[in-house]
Amino acid sequence: MTRIFKVILFSTCIVLNTAEICFGQQSSFWFEHLQLPDGDQANFIVDIAEDSLGFIWFGTWNGLYRYDGRSYTNYVHDPADPTSLSANWVEMIYVDGEGTLWVGTFGGLNRFNPEQETFTSFRNDPENPTSLSQDSVTVIMEDRLGHLWVGTMGGLNRMDHETGKFTRYTYDPEDSTSLGNDQVRALYEENQGTIWIGTKSPCLL
């Protein structure tokens, strides 16, 4: 069974090779074991993030959990409620520069409204080329210009915050400058602004 481990450090240490040194003294720490309340599916934890208010969020196979230091609030998909989480399988949690919490699920992208405790969902619409390219969201990143990038199992997307529309980047075997593979697993922006995209073999762009 998967558990969460929190490391509490009581002193500032200098790490040299594999030894922890604090002016000649070994540091003291321990692991605090936390367990989500809803069984094995909940305790399969995929991602963890802290929001601007200090809440800790856990992404699991049983939805999204918010932890306030004492208790948990569970957010799950409700087919009868369009403002609920779009799917229970959470793959990615991301807090952008404005403090907005984004949740990537295997049922679309979600933006959390903390005042209403509701979600706005963004999903693929086969009839709309400016919708999300595919609903299995694997990675989320905001670049230095404030653009939100969303990687899926079916391509890369750049979101326009004002319109909620997406620009898609997908693999085209006829175009050597296109995305190398549609299964996007990692995003990183380096200091000069270049964005690196990790995809399924064989390509890293």
- For the chain, the domains span 1-34, 41-199
Does the domain at 41-199 match CATH 3.20.20.10? Answer given as: no
How far apart, in whole angstroms, are the C-alpha atoms of residue 197 and residue 103? 19
pLDDT digit string, tens, across residues 116-141: 999 999 999 999 999 999 999 999 99
- The 3-state DSSP class for residue 73 equals strand
**Whether residue 21 has pLDDT greater than 60:** no
Q: Are 186 and 197 in contact (CB under 8 A)?
A: yes
pLDDT digit string, tens, across residues 54-110: 999 999 999 999 999 999 999 999 999 999 999 999 999 999 999 999 999 999 999
**Whether residue 26 has pLDDT greater than 70:** no
The predicted structure's pLDDT at residue 200: 84
Q: Are 69 and 78 in contact (CB under 8 A)?
A: no
* Closest among 179, 165, 92, 69 to 124, alpha carbons compared: 165
**Whether residue 112 has pLDDT greater than 50:** yes
Q: What's the predicted TM-score (pTM) here?
A: 0.83
How far apart, in whole angstroms, are the C-alpha atoms of residue 141 and residue 149? 5
Residue 67, H or E segment = strand 63-67
How far apart, in whole angstroms, are the C-alpha atoms of residue 166 and residue 119? 18
Beta carbons within 8 Å of 128's beta carbon, 6+ residues apart: none
**Whether residue 14 has pLDDT greater than 80:** no
